[in-house]
Amino acid sequence: MIYLFTFLSSVLTAMGLGGGTVLVILLVNFTETSQLAIQGLNLTLFIPVALVSVILHFKNGLIHKATALYGILAGLPGAFLGVWLLSFLDPEFLRVLLGWFLLLSGAVALFRGGKKQPPPVLNGEKGSPIPIGEQRQKKAK
């Protein structure tokens, strides 16, 4: 069953749909593995799946390089802080925190679910969104 859950979560992760969260929920509820061990498995699984996904998304022009750089620069210190905080937190607190996060996320998705987001305006380079105002300024020149 773990293999099926891992496969399904990898597919979701590759599509950028939060497969890691799905994996944690499934393994916590349907196996006898501790949540901390599951979180470790989730992170270990995420590395190769994310690497393949990033390579393919980059190849297809779906990654805006400047935005990705800002995300990396902010994410690395955040990752170190999260690992450090983990050593002080009770696993039961983490379980409750994850539950509240999922409830909040579900409520937001439920109440915003019917609203469609407009597609980003592209400047001709795949994956590089430009706000509409800047697009108009460029056309005017």
Residue 72 shares a structural domain with residue 26: no
pLDDT > 70 in the chain, percent: 79
- Tell me which of 34, 60, 86 is where a domain ends: 60
Residue 11 shares a structural domain with residue 72: no
Residue 82 shares a structural domain with residue 139: yes
pLDDT digits (tens, 9 = 90+) for 12-37: 877 777 788 888 888 888 888 887 78
The answer to the question of residue 81 being in a domain is yes
Residue 27 shares a structural domain with residue 92: no
Regarding pTM above 0.75, the answer is no
Which of the two residues, 2 and 88, has the higher pLDDT score?
A: 88
Residue 68 shares a structural domain with residue 48: no
Which of the two residues, 141 and 24, has the higher pLDDT score?
A: 24
DSSP line for 52-113: HHHHHHHHTT---HHHHHHHHHHHHHHHHHHHHHHTTS-HHHHHHHHHHHHHHHHHHHHHHT
Specify the DSSP class assigned to residue 17.
S
The answer to the question of residue 109 being in a domain is no
- Residue 130: what pLDDT? 46
pLDDT digits (tens, 9 = 90+) for 101-140: 888 988 887 887 666 666 554 444 554 554 444 444 454 4
- Residue 17: what pLDDT? 76
For the chain, the domain total comes to 2
Residue 87 shares a structural domain with residue 52: no
- Residue 61: what pLDDT? 84
Residue 77 shares a structural domain with residue 42: no
Closest to 19 in 3D by CA, of 37, 46, 38, 40: 46
Q: Please state, rounded to an integer, the average pLDDT across all residues of the chain.
A: 78
Residue 25 shares a structural domain with residue 88: no
Residue length of the chain = 141
Residue 73 shares a structural domain with residue 93: yes
pLDDT at 57 over 70: yes
Residue 36 shares a structural domain with residue 88: no
Which residues constitute the domain of residue 47?
Answer: 1-60
Residue 76 shares a structural domain with residue 138: yes
Residue 127 shares a structural domain with residue 89: yes
